[in-house]
């Protein structure tokens, strides 16, 4: 169960949003064959796991409507695969990424029940822009988890990782996750998104503001 939830979180952090045109201003890997590798560390800098996403197919209807299919794979800290690569398809409708948590799970989503409002990202970005609120419930193996949150663009910053230096929009998210019969867990997530790449760095904090994990790309092929 923990592996599945970690996988969902990782994919949601990497999958991004689009702006303006298919050819130039998209904030995710948009070319077939492109791939990104990333590392996840704890708040003290120790490696927890690795991951990889590869663009396997791009189907363009027009400049504002298309789909991108990836394969996503996660590895332990010794780079041993934790599960086979999972195919994921996201839909871009009128330039905005429309998330579907069930679709993000690929074959794993066949026995998952999901309802509610999914997060989505708009066609344009600017500092101070409030992206909006969302709330959805996921039921896996009879256990229901409700996730709600909001997203806001708070800055434009340069971010450096082992893969290079990137001009990014900083998007901050307040997230609450509640498992049935348990107290809600509140966290804060900060993502830095770069054009034609997606999230190059992600930080998560607990409800007391303590850094929990850092995820950042370590290699990039476009």
Is the pLDDT confidence value at 78 over 90? yes
Say how far apart CA 177 and CA 171 lie, in whole Å.
19
Give dist(CA 67, CA 190) in Å, integer. 25
**Domain 2-221, CATH among 2.40.360.20, 2.130.10.30, 3.40.718.10, 3.30.70.1350:** 2.40.360.20
Region 121-150: mean pLDDT is: 79
Q: How far apart are CA 197 and CA 17, in angstroms?
A: 10
Task: Indicate whether 142 pLDDT > 70.
Answer: yes
Instruction: Kindly tell me if the per-residue pLDDT of 21 is higher than 60.
Output: no
DSSP 197: T
Residue 178 in this model has a pLDDT that exceeds 70: yes
Ranges 124-128, 149-153, 169-173, 192-196: which has the least confidence: 124-128
pLDDT at 183 over 50: yes
> What angle is formed at CA 11 by the lines to CA 8 and CA 12, rounded to 5 degrees?
85
Inform me whether the pLDDT recorded for 101 exceeds 90: no
Class of residue 9 by CB neighbours under 10 A (exposed 0-12, middle 13-18, buried 19+): buried
Of 4-8, 64-68, 81-85, 86-90, the one with minimum mean pLDDT is: 4-8
Pairing type for strands 17-18 and 185-194 reads unpaired
Mean pLDDT of 169-181: 87
Q: What is the pLDDT of residues 192-220, one digit of tens each?
A: 988 888 889 999 999 899 999 999 999 99
pLDDT at 60 over 90: no
Residue 161 and residue 72: Cα distance in Å, rounded? 21
Q: What pLDDT, on the 0 to 100 scale, is given for residue 12?
A: 46
């Amino acid at each position: 169960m923990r592996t599945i939830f970690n996988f969902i979180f990782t994919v949601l952090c990497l999958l991004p949003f689009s702006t303006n045109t298919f050819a130039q201003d998209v904030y995710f890997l948009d070319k077939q064959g492109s791939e990104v590798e990333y590392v996840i560390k704890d708040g003290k800098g120790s490696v927890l796991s690795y991951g990889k996403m590869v663009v396997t197919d791009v189907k363009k209807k027009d400049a504002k409507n298309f789909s991108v299919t990836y394969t996503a794979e996660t590895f332990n800290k010794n780079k041993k695969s934790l599960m086979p690569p999972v195919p994921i398809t996201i839909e871009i409708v009128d330039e905005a990424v429309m998330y579907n948590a069930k679709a993000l799970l690929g074959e794993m989503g066949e026995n998952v029940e999901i309802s509610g409002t999914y997060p989505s990202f708009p066609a344009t970005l600017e500092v101070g822009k409030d992206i909006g609120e969302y709330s959805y419930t996921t039921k896996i193996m009879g256990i229901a988890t409700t996730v709600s949150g909001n997203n806001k663009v708070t800055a434009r910053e340069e971010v450096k990782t082992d893969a290079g230096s990137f001009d990014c929009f900083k998007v901050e998210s307040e997230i609450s996750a509640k498992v049935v019969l348990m107290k809600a867990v509140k966290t804060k997530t900060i993502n830095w998104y770069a054009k034609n790449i997606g999230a190059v760095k992600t930080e998560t904090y607990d409800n007391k503001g303590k850094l929990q994990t850092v995820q950042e790309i370590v290699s990039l092929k476009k």
